Structure 1
Amino acid sequence: MSNRTLFDAAARKCLLVGRKSLPVTLSMDLAAQVLAVDLGLKPALLYDSNCASVEQVQQYLISLQSAHLVSESLITLGINDNALIVNPAMIITNLERVLLASPVTVFNVCHLLEKPIIVAPLSGDLRGMIQDLLTILKQYVQVPNTKKLSLDGDESKNWNLCTLFGYLLGYPVTYWFDQNKGFENCLAMTPLMVIKASVTWKAETDVHRCCLYSFSIPALLHQETVSTLENWHLQLKDRFHQQTVLCDLILHQSIVTLPAVCL
């Protein structure tokens, strides 16, 4: 069986919701995303192809590893019913860099503000959240033969998952809001620059275009984030050139204005 067929078979077997399996296009996209995590092009993927559970995503990953399609180093991370497939070594390195050098720009988008502002990236609870997760991950990777880490209790109940996922997914920017003041934001009708990085996966006779990264920044703060975005892009290109599985890295930018933005 071809690798593409094996990826698709694993998705159909493990990620079934009701009687519906993943369409081939989504299965291919998911496969390319997992390969990107395994190759170190991105530290993690947040599973959102359908409503499959964390346990189902874990079984999907185990199936890929059993077929030697991806390495044994990848793990499933569950945070409050959200499933991620992560490269733990890359995640740990990235979080350590965040604590030491603050390479990620943080936007405060609290609904009480007239417009988004840039804030100190690791003030107060943010630093504690990163330190707590880093400690848990370091302890976890020392335990042999474990494939899944679930954080659904006291460890994560006060974490701002919007901000945390920005860090985990390797974005150069992330959004933050004070959860004690509500979960709404001030991004409605605010021009946003959407930045996407895509690659091509040539799986035998199939060619699939896949979006590896997609994030946004308030357009009015673009100039303040230019150096952060350039550094992120240079590092992505460097990692991209160290592998040969995925090709044709393209960065695309567009401006959107939406009546409401859900984070």
Structure 2
Amino acid sequence: MICQAMNTQELVVAAARQCLSTGRKSLSVPQSLNVAAQLLAVDLALKPALLYDANSASAEQVHRFLRSCQSSRLVSGSLVTLDLNGNSLIVNLVAVRSNLERMLDNGGPVVIDVCSSLEKPAIMEPVRAGLKSIAGALLSLLKRFDTTKDADQGVYVAEGSDVWNLSTVFGLLLGYPATYWFDQTESFENCLAMTPLMVTNASATWPADTNSHKCCLYSFSIPALLHNETFSNVEKWKFGLQERFQQQNVLKELTICQTAVTLPSLCL
């Protein structure tokens, strides 16, 4: 099993360094391992999607990387690339569809209004944030996607997505229990400067016989003053992640921790 893990690591790292290089610069081995571990986490449905931000690789390159891993049978065919207004994601179709359906049934993430005009962050209705409308549009698009016919193309989201609040949408797609919203027609600034935040990190280890790789699966923040209002959602999220983690044996040593931070500014 350890030997198999090593072989998988070597193959995925090679695919990452070959497909995701920019100019003459390839991803480092640690960067490649991190991308590979997160890709496996998406395939195992430990997280619904991976937002690719390791370097400036294009959506086409990210798609080529995924197809290379699928061709080598390192991950399943249920993963697809999503090009959202120039941002590249690799998504687990089943997990993301489930999240979007939950959002439409009033079971999605807590939406936190962080408009710069507010004195402090506040809970708001998903309908006001337009999140239900966005979830419906994405769900309709993904339901039409056929992995047997469209896998070589990936999913491109164009119509209407240029006005979506991407911070809010990413929170939904990445499976966070809470997501930020701000009125971008008013300002792209927010009211989180010097606001005490509780940052939740979830990490796991990808074992090998030497130098096992530790990877951050999730990292998100919630204003400390909204702890009581978001507690139930965060606890459900923790339980769901722990339950899914127990159903696989590829990644080990799940750790979920919280730390308090206060930052002079926070870019969303």
Same fold (TM over 0.5): yes
Task: Quote the residue 2:179 is aligned against.
Answer: 174
Task: Quote the residue 2:191 is aligned against.
Answer: 186
Q: Are the equivalent residues in 2 in contact too, given 1:3–1:203 (CA < 8 A)?
A: no
Separation (CA, whole Å) in 2 of partners of 1:180 and 1:53: 28
Which one of 68, 81, 87 corresponds to residue 82 of structure 1? 87
Task: Quote the residue 1:125 is aligned against.
Answer: 130
Which one of 4, 7, 11 corresponds to residue 2 of structure 1? 7
Q: Are the equivalent residues in 1 in contact too, given 2:108–2:172 (CA < 8 A)?
A: no
Separation (CA, whole Å) in 2 of partners of 1:142 and 1:8: 25
Q: Name the SS of the counterpart of 1:78 in structure 2.
A: strand
Gaps in structure 2 of 5+ consecutive residues: 1-5
- In 2 relative to 1, CA 135–45 (structure 1 residues): closer, same or farther, beyond 3 Å? same
Task: Quote the residue 1:53 is aligned against.
Answer: 58
Separation (CA, whole Å) in 2 of partners of 1:143 and 1:207: 35
Q: Are the equivalent residues in 2 in contact too, given 1:2–1:204 (CA < 8 A)?
A: no
Which one of 114, 123, 141 corresponds to residue 119 of structure 2? 114
- In 2 relative to 1, CA 7–134 (structure 1 residues): closer, same or farther, beyond 3 Å? same
Q: Are the equivalent residues in 2 in contact too, given 1:199–1:250 (CA < 8 A)?
A: yes
Gaps in structure 1 of 5+ consecutive residues: none
Separation (CA, whole Å) in 2 of partners of 1:254 and 1:118: 21
The residue type equivalent to 1:101 in the other structure is: N
Q: Name the SS of the counterpart of 1:181 in structure 2.
A: coil
Task: Quote the residue 1:42 is aligned against.
Answer: 47
Shift of 1:126: 2.1
Task: Quote the residue 2:155 is aligned against.
Answer: 149
Separation (CA, whole Å) in 2 of partners of 1:5 and 1:67: 12
Separation (CA, whole Å) in 2 of partners of 1:145 and 1:154: 19
Separation (CA, whole Å) in 1 of partners of 2:147 and 2:41: 24
The residue type equivalent to 1:229 in the other structure is: V
Q: Are the equivalent residues in 2 in contact too, given 1:15–1:60 (CA < 8 A)?
A: yes
Within a 5 Å distance, the mapping from 1:1-263 to structure 2 comes to: 2-123=7-128, 125-141=130-146, 144-147=149-152, 148-151=154-157, 153-263=158-268
Kindly provide the CA deviation profile for residues 23-68 of structure 1, in whole angstroms up to 9, marking residues without a partner as x.
1111111110000000010000000101100000001111111111
Separation (CA, whole Å) in 1 of partners of 2:177 and 2:131: 16
Q: Are the equivalent residues in 2 in contact too, given 1:99–1:122 (CA < 8 A)?
A: no
Task: Quote the residue 2:3 is aligned against.
Answer: none
- In 2 relative to 1, CA 183–16 (structure 1 residues): closer, same or farther, beyond 3 Å? same
Shift of 1:154: 2.5
The residue type equivalent to 2:180 in the other structure is: Y
Kindly provide the CA deviation profile for residues 195-223 of structure 1, in whole angstroms up to 9, marking residues without a partner as x.
00000111454411111000000011112
Q: Are the equivalent residues in 1 in contact too, given 2:80–2:91 (CA < 8 A)?
A: yes
CA RMSD in angstroms, aligned pairs only:
1.4
The residue type equivalent to 1:194 in the other structure is: V
Separation (CA, whole Å) in 2 of partners of 1:143 and 1:184: 43
Separation (CA, whole Å) in 1 of partners of 2:170 and 2:187: 19
Q: Are the equivalent residues in 1 in contact too, given 2:77–2:147 (CA < 8 A)?
A: no
Which sits farther off after the overlay, 178-187 or 210-219?
178-187
Q: Aligned residues: percent identity? A: 55
